[in-house]
């Protein structure tokens, strides 16, 4: 406890977005909180995109999820990948800002509340080892680990692995993304037993097309998982 007080004196909590001092470890200062695109209201039950109109609690699906096969059951996102949402994702991924993971996991736990099942296992979307080597950490694994602390669900960092190195998906069409990723992900053979008759909650930082999450969900189901849900920090989507 004394150590914590000392740490707070030396490193007072700062806003994750602008760096201003804040009163608590809650993550963001007031103005940044107001400017951060947290997702609320009616959302697509498969990808978490906010949807216009509708009534709270209504089961809805966005146009993308009506046309693209989603092998998972339900999905949510904490933020829109826009403005401060985008900035924090990029800071976590490329800026070594690991301290973002815990508050981000708190927001994700909130968004994922309807999906959480007792006994489910948390699994991050994997990076290929060569990319992991270059970046030194998997931002999705940081989020999954922090989400484990938030929710009390068990976390398995190496449940899934990338078998093939896929070139960057940036700028690729939706079909090209899905084609690139199919069969690129599998369940780690040593972890297959862990999955039997269990639900999986997949964790990623960003959902764009959903191709990576689809590949992961298919691998889990093929290996014996009963059900897969997905939670991401930010969803690339239009404002409703």
Q: How far is the CB of 186 from Zn ion (least distance, A)?
A: 26
Name which position in 39, 43, 62, 88 contacts Zn ion (CB under 5 A): 62
Write the DSSP assignment of the chain as a string of letters: -HHHHHHHHHS--B-TTT--B-SSTTSS-HHHHHHS-B--SSBBTTT--B-SS--TT--B--HHHHHS---SSEEEEEEESSHHHHHHHHHHHHS--GGGHHHHHHHHHHHTGGG--TT-EEEEPPPPHHHHHHHSS-HHHHHHHHHHHHH---B-TTSEEESSPPPP-TT--HHHHHHHHTTSEEE-GGGHHHHTT-EEEEEEEEESSSHHHHHHHHHHHHTT-SEEEEEEEEE-----
Asked whether position 46 contacts Zn ion by CB under 5 A, the answer is: yes
**Judged by CB under 5 A, how many residues of this single chain contact Zn ion?**
12
Asked whether position 229 contacts Zn ion by CB under 5 A, the answer is: no
Stretch that binds Zn ion, among 44-52, 142-150, 207-215, 216-224 (CB under 5 A): 44-52
Q: How far is the CB of 14 from Zn ion (least distance, A)?
A: 8
Asked whether position 51 contacts Zn ion by CB under 5 A, the answer is: no
Asked whether position 32 contacts Zn ion by CB under 5 A, the answer is: yes
Asked whether position 80 contacts Zn ion by CB under 5 A, the answer is: no
Give the span between the Cα atoms of 48 and 207, in whole angstroms.
Answer: 10
Q: Which is nearer to Zn ion, 121 or 211 (CB)?
A: 211
Name which position in 39, 42, 43, 44 contacts Zn ion (CB under 5 A): 44
Q: How far is the CB of 43 from Zn ion (least distance, A)?
A: 8
Q: How far is the CB of 235 from Zn ion (least distance, A)?
A: 8
Phi and psi at 127, nearest 5°, equal -100, 150
Asked whether position 29 contacts Zn ion by CB under 5 A, the answer is: yes
Stretch that binds Zn ion, among 63-71, 82-90, 107-115, 199-207 (CB under 5 A): 63-71
Asked whether position 213 contacts Zn ion by CB under 5 A, the answer is: no
Q: How far is the CB of 79 from Zn ion (least distance, A)?
A: 15
Burial class (CB in 10 A: 0-12, 13-18, 19+), 91: middle
Asked whether position 214 contacts Zn ion by CB under 5 A, the answer is: no
Asked whether position 17 contacts Zn ion by CB under 5 A, the answer is: yes
Q: For binding to Zn ion (CB under 5 A), which residues are involved?
A: 15, 17-18, 20, 29, 32, 44, 46-47, 49, 62, 65
């Amino acid at each position: 406890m004394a150590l914590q007080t000392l740490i707070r004196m030396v490193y007072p909590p700062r806003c994750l977005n602008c760096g201003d001092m804040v009163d608590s470890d809650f993550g963001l200062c007031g103005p940044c909180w107001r400017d951060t695109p947290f997702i609320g209201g009616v959302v697509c039950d498969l990808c978490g995109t906010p949807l216009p109109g509708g009534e709270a609690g209504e089961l809805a699906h966005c146009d993308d999820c009506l046309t693209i096969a989603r092998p998972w059951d339900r999905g949510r996102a904490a933020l829109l990948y826009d403005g401060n949402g985008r900035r924090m994702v990029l800071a976590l991924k490329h800026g070594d800002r690991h301290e973002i993971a815990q508050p981000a996991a708190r927001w994700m736990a909130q968004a994922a509340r309807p999906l959480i099942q007792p006994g489910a296992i948390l699994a991050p979307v994997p990076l290929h080892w060569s990319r992991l080597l270059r970046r030194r950490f998997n931002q999705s694994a940081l989020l999954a680990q922090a989400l484990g602390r938030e929710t009390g669900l068990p976390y398995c960092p190496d449940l899934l692995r990338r078998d093939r190195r896929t070139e960057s998906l940036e700028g690729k069409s939706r079909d090209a993304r899905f084609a690139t990723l199919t069969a690129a992900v599998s369940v780690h053979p040593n972890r297959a037993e862990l999955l039997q008759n269990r639900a999986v909650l997949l964790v990623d930082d960003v959902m764009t097309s959903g191709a990576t999450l689809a590949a992961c969900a298919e691998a889990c189901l093929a290996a014996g998982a009963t059900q897969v849900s997905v939670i991401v920090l930010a969803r690339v989507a239009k404002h409703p």
